[in-house]
Structure 1
Amino acid sequence: MPAHAKDLVQHLASFVAETTYAGTPPEAAETAKKSILDTFGVILAASGTEPAVHGLVDLVKESAGRPESSILAFGGKAPAMMAALANGAMAHCLDFDDQTPWGQHASSSIVPAAFAVAERLGGVTGQDMIAAVAAGQDIFARLRCNVTWKKDWNLSSVMGVFAATAAAGRVLGLSQEQMVSAFGIATMQSSGVMELVAGTGGDVRGMYAGFSAKGAVLAALLAARGVTGVPTVLEGEFGFFKTYFADYDRDAILNGLGRKFEGAGTLYKLWPTVGTAHSHIHAIIELLNENGLHLDEVKQIRLHVGDYHDLMCRPLQERRAPATLVDAKFSLPFLVAVAAVHRGVKVSHFTTESLKDRRVLAVAQKVVTVSDPTLDWKLELPPGRVELEMIDGRKFQKVGSGVPGNSEAPLTWDTIGQKFRDCASASVRPLEADQVIAAEHLARHLESAADVVELVRLLAPPN
């Protein structure tokens, strides 16, 4: 940090406090609305397809407290912090939530936190919610692409709590000074090691966004009550950047702040799996379809992998036959096998029964890996290359480019709407068709909403 310069937290806090809907670029506003609809859809799907969330939701309901904010899909209300925990956990546990072009997930922390606070507060307009979400997405993207990541800390939760705090603070109308404090308080919830993501076994990998969403609500509410944070929390001698990263680009983080909203580049997933697997998934589907190949003709499937791909392949036998639904979405050999068998990947392909699908497991046994350092994850999501060796000796190879949902083939409103409807159909509590249609319409036109709680009411049963 240059001598006598203000800590970055001061700049970010000013940006959040001053962000308005009118000053939000149209593309960033559209992105915010898409992310709200997309995140709510994924939450609904998770409620009915991921058994692990039931224990967390049960605990939230058991703890009870002041009924401020809704638990989506399951119904009932809890204090805003706890509703954010429950909804945030569901928002990421299918790995179906949106991501930046460089990976990692912002909206699964931002949206649950912002809506929990909005419901507690009441009377938050759609325009204010859009501005809040867009501000949080911008901060997340700026931080994500301008740090030197050593792949040790989980960036989605380490940075997600700041993005969600920005959104929650903007919903509350915090001043610049209060936002500085909120960011400082949020550092107490900025955590998460990569072993939680890369290791096998356990359920928490899928739920981490709940913790950053809860921490954000806590930080914003404490700041609103006058609790202060350290004003050098990001760039101080023992601050955020020195603790977590080898280096960061201060000038790039500040470049265009308040004018260009980097979150406008948010990407939406067509497939409910970790984003770094999508290129291999796309490649195997295209190889089979374009060449008219049958799986019983395939002798071996070679996945060319970089460093992060390799994490999803070790230990290989466990990744071929994952034991949990959470592990399945992060196991590249299994995911490629699912895509090969079904020529696509859907939420319905991840059930306790589907983990035992003999067709998928048989194909997964044919998967081997080939190390390729040129595919290491540096900033942009790395491509994947798949090679098929047939029983008759023929070989086919393809790099997965033009992946649906990536920057070169972004999902449209119509596709995101269809995804929302598909996700809603998997909710733990079935929704009426008119509810789903109304929710989609309201999200697409959220700038006209007098109170965003209207959207929540469509998707949260009263009890």
Structure 2
Amino acid sequence: MPDNRDLVHILAGHAAGLAYEDLTDAAREAAKKSVLDTFGVILAASGMEPAVRGVIEIVQEAGGSPDSTVLGFSGKAPAMMAALANGALAHCLDYDDQTPWGQHCASSIVPAVFAVAERQGGVTGRDLIAAVAAGQDIFARLRRNVGWKKDWNLSTVLAVFAASAAAGRVMGLSARQLSHAMGIASMQSSGIMEMVAGRGSDLRGMYAGFSAKGAVLAALMAEKGITGIDRMFEGRYGFFNSYFGGRYDREAILAGLGAEFQGAGTLYKRWPCVGTAHSHMKAAIDIMAENGLKTGDIARVVLHVGDYHDLMCQPLDERRAPATLADAKFSLPFLVSVAIVRGGMSVTDFSQAGLADPDVLAVGRKISLLADPALDWKLDLPPGRVEIVAADGRICVREGCGVPGNADNPMDWPDLCAKFIECASVCATPVAPERLAHVAELARKLEVLDDATVLIRSFQA
């Protein structure tokens, strides 16, 4: 018989009842990788993104019960505030993982899950893995099957539900309580794309803090018996009608639920910037390497752009030479220029000195755009195509493929551990190398831990 309940009840039941044993090996590995990867980018952001310091100061000033660890900085805070701090850090460098279709959820899920796990105590590694996997699965199912018009910031609008489901699973909420938590989370579901596409705002980097905090608040309220919204997703005035004009595919959202875990396809970034720029960067790097070009050999660089690529290019002069670190990570001409000059990208490329690098800026001045509607963003991340015209008249064109971290060139555990060590090297509070190696090993065998929070507490052991 068809299940005609609102999707909030079906997805809540899915998360509440999901056991580690139900997961595929790929889903388990993705959840564990996302934990280590998220911890790493949080540590890097603590030392590399000055804008987040204001959030940390607010968290420290708020006081309260020292339930949960604030990574990158010493001390603890109440679970909600720790989730805010760690979530704000988790996306600051745009180095957190993403789905194959774009958008980010681990930067909301992992801070929320560990905040409530530390507050509660006694959460096993297997339960934590199941919680993260449930959140990743719910996020991917929603992400793929709503009629997004690039108006809402899906990473926060959807991730607060995924993170609430994951946090509720850690807390052992019943299916009914968890549906209440997801309904309550609708009050925290927000974020407009102007925050992402516009310039000059620090919010673009720290937005995951709001969804992580909102998820913890929603789960705690549901635990206290506060009720949510019975027809939260599919009601006449529910989420799908209000946010997407009723454009969603219920059948696709539910297809394979409990058997197919869509978070298993999570992608891990090798370069700390917006994922939709990576294929252009790879194309430019390949052209330079394959043709033996030096930066002085370049006459022109033409970026073929679809609709979303163009957002990262306007206005062109400002995107060639961005004024802030947050803007730099979303400025396609600047990112391609860095890739050409450096042959790649590192967290240390994003500093005030990096923004003023004369070699990078010189390449940027040679960049122009060519609109290509075939590269518009539908569901899959659109590829990038780059044309470099050499001073000797050679014309080299390449489409970016084999991007480090993408499905056709994935990052395995050694790659992720290397990224983790790189990120930790710029942490605001130095962590001993042997401690980092211990954390990485714990993450890899998270399922054997009787207390999953040993992982986060090991940074300060």
If the TM-score is normalised by the length of the shorter chain, which range does it land in? over 0.9
TM-superposition CA deviations, 1:209-265 (whole Å, max 9, x none): 000000000000000110001110000001111111141110010011111100000
SS in 2 for 1:235: coil
Structure 1 residue 4: Cα displacement:
8.3
- Higher mean Cα deviation, 103-112 or 394-403? 394-403
Q: Output the CA distance in 2 between the equivalents of 1:367 and 1:83.
A: 42
1:332 maps to amino acid: L
TM-superposition CA deviations, 1:66-113 (whole Å, max 9, x none): 111110010211110000000000000100000000000010000000
Structure 1 residue 392: Cα displacement:
2.1
- Higher mean Cα deviation, 291-300 or 277-286? 291-300
Q: Output the CA distance in 2 between the equivalents of 1:438 and 1:394.
A: 51
- 1:136-285 matches, cutoff 5 A: 136-246=135-245, 247-285=247-285
TM-superposition CA deviations, 1:424-453 (whole Å, max 9, x none): 111001111111000000000000111112
Q: Does 1:343 align with 2:338?
A: no
**Counterpart position of 1:380:** 380
Structure 1 residue 147: Cα displacement:
1.1
Structure 1 residue 3: Cα displacement:
10
1:452 maps to amino acid: A
2:248 maps to amino acid: Y
* Cα gap change, 1:297 to 1:139, in 2 (>3 Å): same
Q: Which runs of 5+ in 1 are unaligned?
A: none
Q: Output the CA distance in 1 between the equivalents of 2:121 and 2:436.
A: 23
TM-superposition CA deviations, 1:126-166 (whole Å, max 9, x none): 00000000000000000001111100000000001011001
Q: Output the CA distance in 2 between the equivalents of 1:293 and 1:422.
A: 28
- 1:18-167 matches, cutoff 5 A: 18-167=17-166
Q: Output the CA distance in 1 between the equivalents of 2:329 and 2:416.
A: 20
Q: Output the CA distance in 1 between the equivalents of 2:148 and 2:2.
A: 25
Q: Which runs of 5+ in 2 are unaligned?
A: none
Q: Output the CA distance in 2 between the equivalents of 1:25 and 1:222.
A: 31
Number of residues paired by the alignment? 460
**Counterpart position of 1:305:** 305
**Counterpart position of 2:353:** 353
TM-superposition CA deviations, 1:150-206 (whole Å, max 9, x none): 000000000010110011000000001101100000000000000000001021100
Q: Output the CA distance in 2 between the equivalents of 1:352 and 1:50.
A: 11
* Cα gap change, 1:398 to 1:454, in 2 (>3 Å): same
SS in 1 for 2:270: coil
Q: Output the CA distance in 1 between the equivalents of 2:2 and 2:236.
A: 13
* Cα gap change, 1:4 to 1:40, in 2 (>3 Å): closer
- 1:402-441 matches, cutoff 5 A: 402-441=402-441
1:450 maps to amino acid: D
Q: Output the CA distance in 2 between the equivalents of 1:241 and 1:133.
A: 24
Q: Output the CA distance in 2 between the equivalents of 1:11 and 1:44.
A: 36
- Higher mean Cα deviation, 385-394 or 434-443? 385-394
2:16 maps to amino acid: A
Q: Give TM-score scaled by structure 2 length.
A: 0.99
Q: Output the CA distance in 2 between the equivalents of 1:392 and 1:456.
A: 55
SS in 2 for 1:447: helix
- 1:317-328 matches, cutoff 5 A: 317-328=317-328
Q: Output the CA distance in 1 between the equivalents of 2:214 and 2:3.
A: 31
- Higher mean Cα deviation, 240-249 or 332-341? 240-249
SS in 2 for 1:182: helix
2:35 maps to amino acid: I
1:346 maps to amino acid: S
Q: Output the CA distance in 2 between the equivalents of 1:252 and 1:4.
A: 14
Q: Output the CA distance in 2 between the equivalents of 1:363 and 1:230.
A: 53
Runs of 4 or more, structure 1, over 2 Å off, are: none
Q: Output the CA distance in 1 between the equivalents of 2:203 and 2:75.
A: 23
1:142 maps to amino acid: R
Q: Output the CA distance in 1 between the equivalents of 2:3 and 2:25.
A: 35
Q: Output the CA distance in 2 between the equivalents of 1:131 and 1:253.
A: 19
TM-superposition CA deviations, 1:330-371 (whole Å, max 9, x none): 000000000000000110100111111111011111111100
TM-superposition CA deviations, 1:292-324 (whole Å, max 9, x none): 011111111000000000000000011000000
1:232 maps to amino acid: R
SS in 2 for 1:22: helix
Q: Does 1:390 align with 2:395?
A: no
Structure 1 residue 64: Cα displacement:
1.2
Q: Output the CA distance in 2 between the equivalents of 1:230 and 1:77.
A: 33
Q: Output the CA distance in 2 between the equivalents of 1:36 and 1:243.
A: 32
- Higher mean Cα deviation, 187-196 or 245-254? 245-254
The CA RMSD measured in Å over matched residues stands at 1.1
Q: Output the CA distance in 2 between the equivalents of 1:356 and 1:437.
A: 34
Q: Output the CA distance in 1 between the equivalents of 2:138 and 2:447.
A: 21
Q: Output the CA distance in 2 between the equivalents of 1:244 and 1:407.
A: 30
Q: Give TM-score scaled by structure 1 length.
A: 0.98
